Structure 1
Amino acid sequence: MVAPPPAATILPDADAVARAAAERLLAVAAGTGRAAICLSGGSTPRRLYALLAGPEFRGRVPWERLHWFFGDERVGDGPEAGSNRRMVEAAFGADSPVPAGHLHPIPTDRGPEAGAAAYEAELRAWYGADGLDPARPLFDCVLLGLGEDGHTASLFPGKPAVAETGRWVVGVPEAGLAPFVPRVSLTLPALGSARSLLFLVTGRGKRDPLARLAAGEELPAGRVQPQGDVAWLLDQEAVG
């Protein structure tokens, strides 16, 4: 069995991970003011988003107060590129409960650098400042995954974007894994500016990166340092 990260909860399967994530997200979003959630791509988050919009959770989510941002996006129109925005919109459904203007996608109608600059400007406007204050996180909750090479968002091992400390959003001209399309990604400082950080990790393919993290290897997923709490939700397949 792979040694799980600290603050990890091991659940039976991906559906259980999605359900536990929904409950945690609701707890983080409790309150009276607006809240910002940073979304992740992938199959397990897709289950989470569909669950939130489904009959069990739909009435419990304070949709009118929540704003949904993205941790990364693929730039390109081809079907091989995929799209986190399209995935999220499909998961929320044709009768999406997200109010108009509350979903904040990363621009993909321009190159990765221009898209990154535009999204950083939007995040700064939302935040109301040009510098991140540790006492006032950018996001209430950041959802992240773990790639088979240890990447998270579109921050790949050995790529320059991982070392970026000044910018909030960067263009990633070359991905470290397929599909090898340009990306736009939030940086480690932006992803870490969170009251709560939640990793959703499922499947046998995640055992190797989990083992590498446990061995102390400095992978991008292990370098996100939130200002609040961090939790890992793993399924049994991921740890063996």
Structure 2
Amino acid sequence: MTALPPGGIVLPDADAVARAAAERLAALAAGTDRCAVALSGGSTPKRLYALLAGPEFRGRLPWERIHWFFGDERVGDSPEAGSNRRMVEAAFGSDTPVPAGHLHPIPTGPDPDRAAASYAAELQSFHGGATLDPGRPLFDLVLLGLGEDGHTASLFPGKPAVTVTDRWVVGVPEAGLAPFVPRVSLTLPALASSRLSLFLVSGAGKRDPLTRIAAGEDLPAGRVRAAGELVWLLDAAAAG
């Protein structure tokens, strides 16, 4: 088996990863008056969102108390702009259980820095302050993916956004992988402000970055921390 990061849990397949994440979200949301979730792009998170909106979980979630934010987004004038929002909306379905105003997409205007500043202001308004307090996390749950280069959200190896610590949201003028379009991403401090952070990782293509992170290589995904619990949900193909 591939060496795993601390907190790694191996499950049979991507469906099992999505189901485990759904169970954790249901349990977390049941114990909160207001639940804030940061969403990730990717195929396994898409399975999760469709599962949440399906018959098994739709009635178990307090949808009226959950607010959905985004960990990153493609912005600008290209067709890829807004792709994470479109994916999430499609996964939740035309009869979405998400109440109006509870989905908080990242602006997709042509200036990534301006979009980042706008989203930071929205997060701070929701949070009720501009300071991240470990005792009062910004998010109840942060969902994360893992790129084959070790990136997470839109924090790519060797790019300046990885080192930003004085902002909650940052513009990413150029991605480290295709499509090379501008992005907006939450920063590592914002991602760390969470009661629970879940990496959802599936597929044999993720074995290499998992091994590198487990060995201590300084990749963006390996830098992620959480105010509460950090868990890696991996399918058997990723874990080797």
TM-score range, shorter-chain basis? Answer: over 0.9
Task: Identify the residue that residue 96 of structure 2 maps to in structure 1.
Answer: 96
Task: Identify the residue that residue 120 of structure 1 maps to in structure 2.
Answer: 120
* TM-score normalised by the chain length of structure 2: 0.98
Kindly indicate whether the alpha-carbon contact (under 8 Å) linking 2:11 and 2:234 is maintained by their aligned counterparts in 1: yes
Task: Identify the residue that residue 166 of structure 2 maps to in structure 1.
Answer: 166
Percent identity between the two aligned chains? 77
Deviations 1:125-150 (A, max 9, x none): 11111111111000000000111000
Q: Is 1:180 the counterpart of 2:183 in the alignment?
A: no
Q: Which runs of 5+ in 1 are unaligned?
A: none
Task: Identify the residue that residue 106 of structure 1 maps to in structure 2.
Answer: 106
Task: Identify the residue that residue 192 of structure 2 maps to in structure 1.
Answer: 192
Task: Identify the residue that residue 19 of structure 2 maps to in structure 1.
Answer: 19
Question: How much does 1:82 deviate?
Answer: 6.2
Question: How much does 1:161 deviate?
Answer: 0.4
Task: Identify the residue that residue 41 of structure 2 maps to in structure 1.
Answer: 41
Task: Identify the residue that residue 60 of structure 2 maps to in structure 1.
Answer: 60
Kindly indicate whether the alpha-carbon contact (under 8 Å) linking 2:76 and 2:110 is maintained by their aligned counterparts in 1: no
Deviations 1:151-201 (A, max 9, x none): 000000111000000000000000000110000000000000000000000
Task: Identify the residue that residue 84 of structure 2 maps to in structure 1.
Answer: 84
SS in 1 for 2:59: helix
SS in 2 for 1:58: coil
Task: Identify the residue that residue 213 of structure 2 maps to in structure 1.
Answer: 213
Cα separation, 1, equivalents of 2:97 and 2:164: 35
The RMSD of aligned alpha carbons is 1.0
Cα separation, 1, equivalents of 2:23 and 2:31: 15
| Equivalent residue letter for 2:2 | V
Question: How much does 1:214 deviate?
Answer: 1.3
Cα separation, 2, equivalents of 1:204 and 1:69: 29
| Equivalent residue letter for 2:118 | A
Kindly indicate whether the alpha-carbon contact (under 8 Å) linking 1:81 and 1:179 is maintained by their aligned counterparts in 2: no
**Residues 32 and 237 of structure 1, relative CA distance in 2, 3 Å threshold:** closer
Task: Identify the residue that residue 138 of structure 1 maps to in structure 2.
Answer: 138
SS in 2 for 1:60: coil
Task: Identify the residue that residue 202 of structure 1 maps to in structure 2.
Answer: 202
Tell me the matched-pair count. Answer: 240
Q: Which runs of 5+ in 2 are unaligned?
A: none
Question: How much does 1:109 deviate?
Answer: 2.4
Question: How much does 1:32 deviate?
Answer: 4.4
| Equivalent residue letter for 1:64 | E
| Equivalent residue letter for 2:205 | G
Kindly indicate whether the alpha-carbon contact (under 8 Å) linking 2:81 and 2:108 is maintained by their aligned counterparts in 1: no
Cα separation, 2, equivalents of 1:199 and 1:32: 22
